[in-house]
């Protein structure tokens, strides 16, 4: 029989665990506008769904007087609960306990969670706020980090892993999030870097602020480390919940199909007018996406990084899809190093988790020049090729305008196992644009012509008529159909329905060798 004294003891220990590093530390956290680990978990999970693991687990370090700073649960809260009724595993680093610094036992708690998540097939959400390796523990902490890294890698492609960065994240602490699928950072309160401004100053003689070095704005626009810079913790958590709604629980399932009130045959006359008459004029590809997806609801990933490519999730007739689209409104939608890496990583995530890919194409090619070549546009552009070629999920392509050169091949072309490839009448599927082509082919003759300008214009029109249209590709079956833009939604939905039971496999191998 459980006595009332035993129950009292349990309640007292639970209360102690809830206090983390103590009320004074909680107050300090609040004073900085930051929530505690438990408050963050409460924001994420459905009310009352949280079950905690290892709340009484403590560190074993006895160096530097550490026996006097033992807290139940140590610097992390771990467990599981539900988000929108679906199970997730969650951990939240507790900054009130020794700055959330990672001890050996904290690592054990995270590893246990990752292993359970893999075994039971549910996503893992990490809420990070940590000073990195626990200095007093030394090698044990480093070993703990390594154990986590290994499990992050083993879980990659098995269950979705999402990281929120809600405070400092330095040293080894950045690499576990970097191994996960998505990173959300809170603006103002969080940063990620290998080493802080002081060390940067002494080693590199650079003056840089914390924000400039590793803030959310920098990582969401320049480095591409972060997928979304949230305005607040609540915003970061809301982003994660929405993200989860589009993805399956694990690699053996498909994402939930939601009821759809938006008519599947809905046409959009606006799409007929969206591509400008001037083939070099910009337009906003996001409008094409918004016009076609269910209820105009598009969830963009990495919006501020390499905006010349758009990636994100949406639904067609309730079916979750990953959208990849060139953006003619930014750098003419060109493929460069950053956009290739952004696109390739997204394609691979979708392929890991059985999410069909819808690709909208308007791309003038790869960006030339020394900056790109020195940076390895060949190696990085090849990532995009590799990702599309290897992907076995349903791949549906709509060419709205330009599909030039290597970029034509890359963007989910028939040759890379595109399942259904449509083109609008405005599509130009060619080796290059008419101006460039004519200059290469006829520059010598133009010089000799009575009116070189008129000569080139005539040749350009001829090239446009002969090659720069969707019909040459359609004649060869590289484009399955040339469609009325207004019907794009209905055609994509039909293609999705057609490919619902698609089975495609790659040759047996240990793993491929994507050009990293
Ligand atoms: C032990 C730590 C700690 C750490 C912070 N604390 N970081 N304890 N190990 N790594 C403790 C502090 O002593 C303090 O304890 C409490 O946490 C809060 O820290 P403050 O410094 O008061 O907070 P704040 O001013 O907000 O600064 C936070 C911080 C700073 C920026 C994170 O604490 C910091 O720079 N910490 C060290 C970061 C770091 O270099 N980590 C090691 C990285 S190397 P009290 O008792 O006073 O409240 C690494 C290698 C791993 O991670 C490699 C794996 C591959």
Q: Among the atoms of ligand 1, which is closest to the Cα of residue 142?
A: 54
Distance 98 CA to ligand 1 centre (A): 7
Q: Are residues 82 and 189 both part of a single domain?
A: yes
pLDDT class of 461 with cuts at 50, 70, 90: confident
Distance 242 CA to ligand 1 centre (A): 32
Q: Among the atoms of ligand 1, which is closest to the Cα of residue 149?
A: 55
Query: What is the Cα Rg of the chain in Å?
Result: 26
Measured CA to CA, the distance from residue 118 to residue 110 in angstroms comes to: 12
Q: Are residues 51 and 152 both part of a single domain?
A: yes
Q: Among the atoms of ligand 1, which is closest to the Cα of residue 133?
A: 52
Q: Are residues 388 and 447 both part of a single domain?
A: no
pLDDT tens-place string over residues 372-429:
999 999 999 999 999 999 999 999 999 999 999 999 999 999 999 999 999 999 999 9
Distance 90 CA to ligand 1 centre (A): 22
Task: Express as a percent the part of the chain with pLDDT over 70.
Answer: 100
Instruction: Decide if 459 is inside a domain.
Output: yes
Dump the DSSP string for 348-374. HHHHHTT--EEEEEEE--B--SHHHHH
When pLDDT is averaged across residues 173-182 and rounded to a whole number, the result is: 95
Among 246, 261, 280, the domain-final residue is 246
Please tell me the predicted confidence (pLDDT) of residue 238.
98
User: How would you label 423-445 residue by residue, b for 16+ Cβ within 10 Å and e otherwise?
Assistant: bbebbbbbebbbebbbeeebeee
Please tell me the predicted confidence (pLDDT) of residue 229.
98
Please tell me the predicted confidence (pLDDT) of residue 187.
94
| Residue tagged 């999920």 (tokens) | 393
Q: Is the minimum distance from the CB of 173 to ligand 1 under 6 angstroms? A: yes
Instruction: Decide if 145 is inside a domain.
Output: yes
Q: Are residues 420 and 406 both part of a single domain?
A: yes
Residue whose CA lies nearest to ligand 1 atom number 37: 131
Instruction: Decide if 513 is inside a domain.
Output: no
Q: Is the minimum distance from the CB of 134 to ligand 1 under 6 angstroms? A: yes
When pLDDT is averaged across residues 244-268 and rounded to a whole number, the result is: 97
Residue 26, pLDDT above cutoff 90: yes
Distance 29 CA to ligand 1 centre (A): 14
Q: Is the minimum distance from the CB of 160 to ligand 1 under 6 angstroms? A: no
Judge residue 375's burial from the number of C-beta atoms within 10 Å of its C-beta, 0-12 exposed, 13-18 middle, 19 or more buried: middle
Q: Is the minimum distance from the CB of 178 to ligand 1 under 6 angstroms? A: no
Residue whose CA lies nearest to ligand 1 atom number 48: 98
**In 3D, which of 193, 196, 197, 248 has the Cα closest to residue 226?**
193
Please tell me the predicted confidence (pLDDT) of residue 496.
98
**In 3D, which of 160, 156, 225, 161 has the Cα closest to residue 190?**
225
pLDDT tens-place string over residues 472-514:
999 999 999 999 999 999 999 999 999 999 999 999 999 999 9
Q: What is the mean pLDDT of the chain?
A: 95
Residue whose CA lies nearest to ligand 1 atom number 13: 98
Q: Are residues 20 and 164 both part of a single domain?
A: yes
Please tell me the predicted confidence (pLDDT) of residue 468.
84
Residue 463, pLDDT above cutoff 90: no
Residue whose CA lies nearest to ligand 1 atom number 24: 99
Strands 428-430 and 420-423: unpaired
pLDDT class of 448 with cuts at 50, 70, 90: confident
Distance 317 CA to ligand 1 centre (A): 49
Q: Is the minimum distance from the CB of 20 to ligand 1 under 6 angstroms? A: no
Instruction: Decide if 140 is inside a domain.
Output: yes
Q: Among the atoms of ligand 1, which is closest to the Cα of residue 130?
A: 32
Residue 465, pLDDT above cutoff 90: no
Residue 343, pLDDT above cutoff 90: yes
Q: Are residues 217 and 123 both part of a single domain?
A: yes
Token pair of 504 as six digits: 């495609």
pLDDT tens-place string over residues 56-67:
999 998 989 899
Q: Is the minimum distance from the CB of 197 to ligand 1 under 6 angstroms? A: no
Which residues, in sequence order, are CB contacts of 27 under 8 Å at separation 6+? none
Q: Among the atoms of ligand 1, which is closest to the Cα of residue 21?
A: 48
pTM of the entire predicted model: 0.95
Distance 131 CA to ligand 1 centre (A): 4
Q: Are residues 458 and 478 both part of a single domain?
A: no
Instruction: Decide if 261 is inside a domain.
Output: no
Q: Among the atoms of ligand 1, which is closest to the Cα of residue 141?
A: 51
Residue 196, pLDDT above cutoff 90: no
Residue 173, pLDDT above cutoff 90: no
| Cα→Cα distances 491→112, 260, 261, 401, 415, Å | 46, 16, 17, 17, 21
pLDDT tens-place string over residues 319-334:
999 999 999 999 999 9
Please tell me the predicted confidence (pLDDT) of residue 124.
98
Sign of CA dihedral 385, 387, 393, 399: negative
Residue 433, pLDDT above cutoff 90: no
Distance 128 CA to ligand 1 centre (A): 13
pLDDT class of 466 with cuts at 50, 70, 90: confident
Instruction: Decide if 284 is inside a domain.
Output: yes
As for how many domains the chain has, the answer is: 3
Q: Are residues 217 and 315 both part of a single domain?
A: no
Measured CA to CA, the distance from residue 42 to residue 38 in angstroms comes to: 6
Residue 275, pLDDT above cutoff 90: yes
Alpha carbon dihedral 486, 489, 490, 494, in 10-degree steps, equals: 140
Q: Is the minimum distance from the CB of 21 to ligand 1 under 6 angstroms? A: no
Q: Are residues 322 and 425 both part of a single domain?
A: yes
pLDDT tens-place string over residues 349-377:
999 999 999 999 999 999 999 999 999 99
pLDDT class of 434 with cuts at 50, 70, 90: confident
Q: Are residues 300 and 202 both part of a single domain?
A: no
Distance 101 CA to ligand 1 centre (A): 6
Q: Among the atoms of ligand 1, which is closest to the Cα of residue 25?
A: 48
Distance 14 CA to ligand 1 centre (A): 26
Alpha carbon dihedral 339, 345, 350, 353, in 10-degree steps, equals: -170
Which of 105, 131, 153, 197 should be mutated for ligand 1, with most atoms under 8 A from CB? 131
Which residues, in sequence order, are CB contacts of 486 under 8 Å at separation 6+? 267, 268, 269, 271, 272
Instruction: Decide if 258 is inside a domain.
Output: no
Could you tell me how far CA 213 lies from the centroid of its own chain? 21
Q: Is the minimum distance from the CB of 131 to ligand 1 under 6 angstroms? A: yes
What is the set of active-site residues? 171-172, 406-407
Q: Is the minimum distance from the CB of 328 to ligand 1 under 6 angstroms? A: no
For position 412, which CATH number holds?
A: 3.90.226.10
Q: Are residues 282 and 417 both part of a single domain?
A: yes
Q: Are residues 181 and 191 both part of a single domain?
A: yes
Q: Give the residue numbers spanning the domain of 449.
A: 434-467
Instruction: Decide if 262 is inside a domain.
Output: no
Q: Is the minimum distance from the CB of 135 to ligand 1 under 6 angstroms? A: yes
Please tell me the predicted confidence (pLDDT) of residue 183.
98
Q: Is the minimum distance from the CB of 132 to ligand 1 under 6 angstroms? A: yes
Which of 31, 99, 192 should be mutated for ligand 1, with most atoms under 8 A from CB? 99
Q: Is the minimum distance from the CB of 101 to ligand 1 under 6 angstroms? A: yes
pLDDT tens-place string over residues 76-127:
999 999 999 999 999 999 999 999 999 999 999 999 999 999 999 999 999 9
């Amino acid at each position: 029989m459980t006595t009332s004294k035993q129950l009292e003891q349990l309640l007292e220990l639970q209360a102690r665990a809830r206090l983390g590093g103590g009320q004074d530390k909680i107050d300090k956290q609040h004073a900085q506008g930051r929530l505690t680990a438990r408050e963050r978990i409460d924001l994420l999970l459905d009310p009352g769904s949280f079950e905690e693991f290892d709340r009484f687990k403590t560190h074993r370090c006895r160096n530097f007087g550490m026996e006097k700073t033992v807290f139940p649960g140590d610097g992390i809260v771990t467990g599981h609960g539900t988000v929108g009724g679906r199970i997730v595993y969650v951990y939240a680093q507790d900054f009130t306990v020794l700055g959330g610094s990672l001890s050996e036992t904290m690592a054990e708690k995270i590893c246990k969670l990752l292993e359970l998540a893999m075994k039971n097939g549910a996503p893992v959400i990490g809420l990070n706020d940590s000073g990195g390796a626990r200095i007093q523990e030394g090698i044990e902490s480093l070993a703990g980090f390594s154990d986590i890294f290994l499990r992050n890698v083993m879980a990659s492609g098995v269950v979705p892993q999402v990281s929120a960065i809600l405070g400092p994240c330095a040293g080894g602490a950045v690499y576990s999030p970097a191994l996960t699928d998505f990173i959300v950072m809170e603006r103002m309160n969080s940063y990620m870097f290998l080493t802080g401004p002081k060390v940067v100053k002494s080693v590199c003689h650079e003056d840089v602020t914390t924000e400039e070095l590793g803030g959310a704005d920098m990582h969401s626009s320049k480095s591409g480390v972060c997928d979304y810079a949230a305005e607040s913790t609540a915003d970061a958590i809301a982003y994660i919940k929405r993200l989860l709604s589009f993805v399956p629980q694990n690699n053996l399932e498909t994402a939930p199909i939601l009821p759809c009130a938006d008519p599947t045959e809905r046409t959009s006359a606006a799409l007929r007018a969206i591509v400008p008459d001037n083939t070099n004029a910009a337009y906003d590809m996001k409008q094409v996406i918004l016009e076609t997806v269910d209820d105009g609801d598009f969830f963009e990933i990495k919006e501020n990084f390499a905006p010349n490519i758009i990636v994100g999730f949406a639904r067609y007739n309730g079916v979750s899809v990953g959208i990849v689209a060139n953006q003619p409104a930014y750098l003419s939608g060109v493929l460069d190093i950053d956009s290739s890496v952004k696109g390739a990583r997204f394609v691979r995530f979708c392929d890991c988790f059985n999410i069909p890919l819808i690709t909208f194409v308007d791309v003038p090619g790869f960006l030339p020049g020394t900056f790109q070549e020195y940076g390895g546009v060949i190696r990085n552009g090849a990532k995009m090729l590799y990702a599309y070629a290897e992907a076995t999920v349903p791949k549906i392509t709509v060419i709205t305008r330009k599909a030039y050169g290597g970029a034509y091949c890359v963007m989910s072309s028939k040759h890379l196992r595109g399942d259904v490839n449509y083109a609008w009448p405005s599509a130009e599927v060619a080796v290059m644009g008419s101006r460039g082509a004519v200059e290469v082919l006829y520059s010598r003759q133009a010089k000799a012509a009575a009116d070189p300008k008129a000569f080139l214009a005539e040749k350009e029109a001829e090239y446009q008529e002969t090659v720069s249209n969707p019909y040459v590709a359609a004649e060869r079956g590289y484009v399955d159909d040339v469609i009325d833009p207004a019907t794009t939604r209905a055609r994509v939905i039909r293609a999705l329905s057609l490919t619902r039971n698609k089975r495609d496999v790659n040759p047996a191998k240990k793993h491929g060798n994507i050009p990293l």
